[in-house]
Chains A and B, each alone.
Chain A
């Protein structure tokens, strides 16, 4: 840990008007930056948790996408001829949890699938089970948090990111998509992607994206990365670049093929091989970078600091209001419970 003496840093101007916070000049190396390493080691030891939800109609390639993202068989696709009969009559949520490790970093990954979403003839309120599930996770965390003797590390099952698969019609967002995204972007980070993008040419893709962006703006839907949560100008520049490309047009594949002597993940068709990791072919690398490599911590932070806090505020205010009225206090609480 003994480092060479670092140039004394320039005097730090006080950040707030508090005169007690004086910026001081260091005469030599102290070693404060070693705290970064300490933090890194600690987080690597405790591991990370990440909960992802994929929503979309069946057959859009959700399970394949998740497998491609995490390069392993995360979701087990039902294969076989009886698959058609298995479309559930109601929206179900299935969670699968795995532990994956890479270079010493352990991650507990939970993927929640929603088979049956948007598959019925009458799809009214098909988002209700999903909203209920997300709120249930917030509720669980909240209850753990207000215990008197809390656990050292509260298990985090809150959904950090919801990937919504938009079918590649090429025209506009359908009413179902708009309704769903409108309701869910208020409680969770929604990342819309265009599924099966290999059915669109590049021009069609650009047109489709523009229309989607216009639609989202017209309806006031703010998807991740939300504009309100940009911390500083650097973040804003980076996030603006990402926002230009939302929604990502992705193709999922879990089979490897030979291209130019290299083995790449891709889809083989009669007219060519679509390479998943080739940015010229599809935007899968962008999605992967956004979700995992650069913004994973940000997704978790926004879920914890914004969505969870607003749920907590709402919940505490609710029970506060209900508790105050003496007559239907007890009744009100039961109602609230059944709302979940």
Chain B
């Protein structure tokens, strides 16, 4: 018997509200969720952007009430680089994996055109790592160590005038990638009235340049009030200190000057307490969520669109992503093959050419060699001929010489005979004339 699926749904899609007649018990759901998260632990990653010596490390120490070991950076870094350090903090039963990323060498160079680039690259790399994990076939997202930056603390130098152009450029590049919280560092160098002017100048500059800093959420009643009041004080003017000074009858964190003591946790002195409230105690979860749902989704969308994927309409084949990917891969492989063929052809052609050239050269050489050989033969023959001639002459000469000698000897003989005769004649009585 054939079985068919018929999923019956209520005629109207609106959900009915039911009233419970007793205690069911699912109000423990948030607790169940919280317990599960507690056993896994939380991840929080902060990026500190600011010039060297502006107080980033000290502020981190003060915020988390501990000493993060790190040496102060030098001022002669050739470029901006990011240094990330991870720590595990535990408070009662909450485990926090805190990663602090520092920008070493920011603002130190003479030419600061590219200062923002390493920062943007780092943030993108973290998003990319998460995207890769998410796109894997066999993935393990629930115990993935999240390295995406959840909050960026931008340290503004306390000039008292306005934002530097480096600050504006960097913040504009970062505002769509990370939650920016601007803070005024070393706020004890600014007097109260100047501080107010400075803050409003900064905020108006940010607004007029279209920089989107992190907005504290005001839609949840429990935190709306506190968030609204705190937002008024942005950017927070903070003072960081890890040294304790005795004030009244208890030790508190402060900076001691000859003219007075600046207390870090005194709200009249600086906004440190506000920053700590906002960053850790009220909005940490919201920062993480914004990073995941807004900044990461934006990155993912841009990246996938860049790779050529599109969302198709609802009634198309499933896994258009897979399809497009496969199509692209085949295309790419085809191109690769074509290129390989081309290269091979070119290579073969070149080899042939070279071979031809070499053959030509060889032929030339052979010809030359033959030519030379022939010349050599000819010369040799000539020399032989000449030699023969010479020998002939020589032999002729010898013959002549021999003949001449013979004649001479003959002549001599004849001569001597003659003289003998002469002598005889002389000796004969009739010639003797004495």
Seen from chain A, the residues whose Cβ lies within 8 Å of a Cβ on chain B are: 1, 6, 9, 12, 14-15, 18, 20-36, 38-45, 48, 50, 69-74, 89-105, 107-108, 120, 122, 124-126, 128-129, 132-133, 139, 143, 146-150, 152, 231-232, 288-289, 292-298, 301, 304-305, 309, 312-313, 315-317, 319-320, 323-324, 326, 329, 333-334, 336-337
Task: Kindly state whether residue B347 has any CB partner on chain A within 8 Å.
Answer: no
Q: Which of A28, A50, A100, A337 contacts B317 (CB 8 A)?
A: A337
Beta-carbon nearest neighbor of A263 in chain B: B22
Is there contact, CB below 8 Å, between A23 and B88? yes
| Residues in A whose Cβ lies below 8 Å from that of B282 | 1, 34, 38
Chain A interface: which of B93-101, B115-123, B231-239?
Answer: B93-101
B20-64 interface (Cβ within 8 A of A) = 20-39, 42, 63-64
| Residues in A whose Cβ lies below 8 Å from that of B139 | 309
| Residues in B whose Cβ lies below 8 Å from that of A100 | 17-18, 20, 24, 26
With A6-B91, A21-B87, A23-B88 given, is the CB distance from A34 to B284 under 8 Å? yes
Smallest distance from the beta carbon of B182 to chain A beta carbons, Å? 22
Beta-carbon nearest neighbor of A145 in chain B: B134
Give CA–CA (A42, B69) in the complex, Å.
34
Smallest distance from the beta carbon of A317 to chain B beta carbons, Å? 6
Q: Which of B22, B24, B34 contacts A39 (CB 8 A)?
A: B34
Smallest distance from the beta carbon of B225 to chain A beta carbons, Å? 13
| Residues in A whose Cβ lies below 8 Å from that of B68 | 24
Smallest distance from the beta carbon of B138 to chain A beta carbons, Å? 6
Is there contact, CB below 8 Å, between B23 and A102? yes
With A28-B65, A72-B20, A293-B26 given, is the CB distance from A20 to B85 under 8 Å? yes
Q: Which of B4, B29, B88, B137 contacts A313 (CB 8 A)?
A: B137
With A43-B34, A324-B326 known, 11 other A-B pairs at CB within 8 A are A14-B88, A31-B277, A32-B42, A32-B280, A34-B280, A41-B222, A102-B27, A107-B26, A146-B321, A149-B311, A296-B29
Chain A interface: which of B168-176, B301-309, B356-364?
Answer: B301-309
Chain A interface: which of B151-159, B204-212, B285-293, B423-431?
Answer: B285-293
Q: Which of A21, A44, A289, A301 contacts B25 (CB 8 A)?
A: A289
Task: Kindly state whether residue B257 has any CB partner on chain A within 8 Å.
Answer: no
Chain A interface: which of B5-13, B187-195, B400-408?
Answer: B5-13
Q: Which of A102, A288, A305, A316 contacts B322 (CB 8 A)?
A: A316
Smallest distance from the beta carbon of A45 to chain B beta carbons, Å? 6
Give CA–CA (A334, B318) in the complex, Å.
9
Smallest distance from the beta carbon of A154 to chain B beta carbons, Å? 11
| Residues in A whose Cβ lies below 8 Å from that of B4 | 90, 129
Task: Kindly state whether residue B259 has any CB partner on chain A within 8 Å.
Answer: no
Q: Using an 8 Å CB-CB cutoff, how does the interface string of B309-351 with A read, 1 for contact, 0 for none?
A: 1110000011101110010001000000000000000000000
Give CA–CA (A289, B28) in the complex, Å.
11
5 shortest interchain CB distances as A-B pairs: A297-B32, A38-B285, A103-B27, A323-B326, A34-B281
Beta-carbon nearest neighbor of B38 in chain A: A36
Give CA–CA (A324, B220) in the complex, Å.
50
| Residues in B whose Cβ lies below 8 Å from that of A28 | 65
Is there contact, CB below 8 Å, between A298 and B3? no
Is there contact, CB below 8 Å, between B64 and A323? no
Q: Which of A143, A149, A313 contacts B138 (CB 8 A)?
A: A313
Is there contact, CB below 8 Å, between A139 and B88? no
Is there contact, CB below 8 Å, between B289 and A42? yes
Task: Kindly state whether residue B86 has any CB partner on chain A within 8 Å.
Answer: yes
Is there contact, CB below 8 Å, between B65 and A29? yes
Is there contact, CB below 8 Å, between B36 and A301? yes
| Residues in B whose Cβ lies below 8 Å from that of A147 | 311
Beta-carbon nearest neighbor of B293 in chain A: A152
Task: Kindly state whether residue B268 has any CB partner on chain A within 8 Å.
Answer: no
Is there contact, CB below 8 Å, between A32 and B318? no
| Residues in A whose Cβ lies below 8 Å from that of B33 | 39-40, 43, 297
Is there contact, CB below 8 Å, between A72 and B65? no
Is there contact, CB below 8 Å, between A30 and B5? no
| Residues in B whose Cβ lies below 8 Å from that of A27 | 65-66
Beta-carbon nearest neighbor of B64 in chain A: A30
With A1-B281, A45-B220, A301-B36 given, is the CB distance from A96 to B25 under 8 Å? no
Is there contact, CB below 8 Å, between B66 and A31? no
Is there contact, CB below 8 Å, between B36 and A319? no
Give CA–CA (A102, B30) in the complex, Å.
12
Task: Kindly state whether residue B19 has any CB partner on chain A within 8 Å.
Answer: yes
Smallest distance from the beta carbon of B32 to chain A beta carbons, Å? 4
Task: Kindly state whether residue B269 has any CB partner on chain A within 8 Å.
Answer: no
Task: Please indicate which of the listed interface residues B96, B137, B276, B319 has the most CB atoms of chain A within 10 Å of its own CB.
Answer: B319
Q: Which of B2, B9, B91 contacts A9 (CB 8 A)?
A: B91
Q: Which of B5, B9, B22, B310 contacts A132 (CB 8 A)?
A: B5
Give CA–CA (A40, B85) in the complex, Å.
29
Smallest distance from the beta carbon of A160 to chain B beta carbons, Å? 12
Smallest distance from the beta carbon of A340 to chain B beta carbons, Å? 8
Is there contact, CB below 8 Å, between A149 and B301? yes
Is there contact, CB below 8 Å, between A22 and B87? yes
Is there contact, CB below 8 Å, between A323 and B318? no
Is there contact, CB below 8 Å, between A26 and B91? yes
Is there contact, CB below 8 Å, between B286 and A35? no
Task: Kindly state whether residue B92 has any CB partner on chain A within 8 Å.
Answer: yes
Task: Kindly state whether residue B372 has any CB partner on chain A within 8 Å.
Answer: no
| Residues in A whose Cβ lies below 8 Å from that of B18 | 70, 72-74, 98-100
| Residues in B whose Cβ lies below 8 Å from that of A91 | 3, 5
Task: Kindly state whether residue B109 has any CB partner on chain A within 8 Å.
Answer: no
Q: Which of B27, B305, B317 contacts A105 (CB 8 A)?
A: B27
Is there contact, CB below 8 Å, between A102 and B20? yes
Is there contact, CB below 8 Å, between B3 and A90? yes
Is there contact, CB below 8 Å, between A93 and B6? yes
Give CA–CA (A31, B44) in the complex, Å.
14
Q: Which of A99, A231, A301 contacts B16 (CB 8 A)?
A: A99
Is there contact, CB below 8 Å, between B26 and A297? no
Is there contact, CB below 8 Å, between A33 and B87? no
Give me 28 A-to-B residue pairs in the complex whose CB atoms sit less than 8 angstroms apart, sorted by A's number: A1-B281, A12-B88, A24-B67, A29-B65, A29-B91, A31-B277, A33-B91, A35-B285, A36-B37, A38-B285, A39-B285, A45-B220, A70-B18, A72-B18, A90-B6, A93-B8, A98-B17, A100-B17, A102-B20, A107-B29, A122-B1, A143-B318, A289-B25, A293-B28, A298-B32, A301-B36, A319-B318, A333-B318
Task: Please indicate which of the listed interface residues B68, B69, B90, B284 has the most CB atoms of chain A within 10 Å of its own CB.
Answer: B90
Task: Kindly state whether residue B390 has any CB partner on chain A within 8 Å.
Answer: no
Is there contact, CB below 8 Å, between A24 and B66? yes
Is there contact, CB below 8 Å, between B326 and A102? no
Task: Please indicate which of the listed interface residues B1, B3, B4 has the most CB atoms of chain A within 10 Å of its own CB.
Answer: B3
Is there contact, CB below 8 Å, between A30 and B91? yes
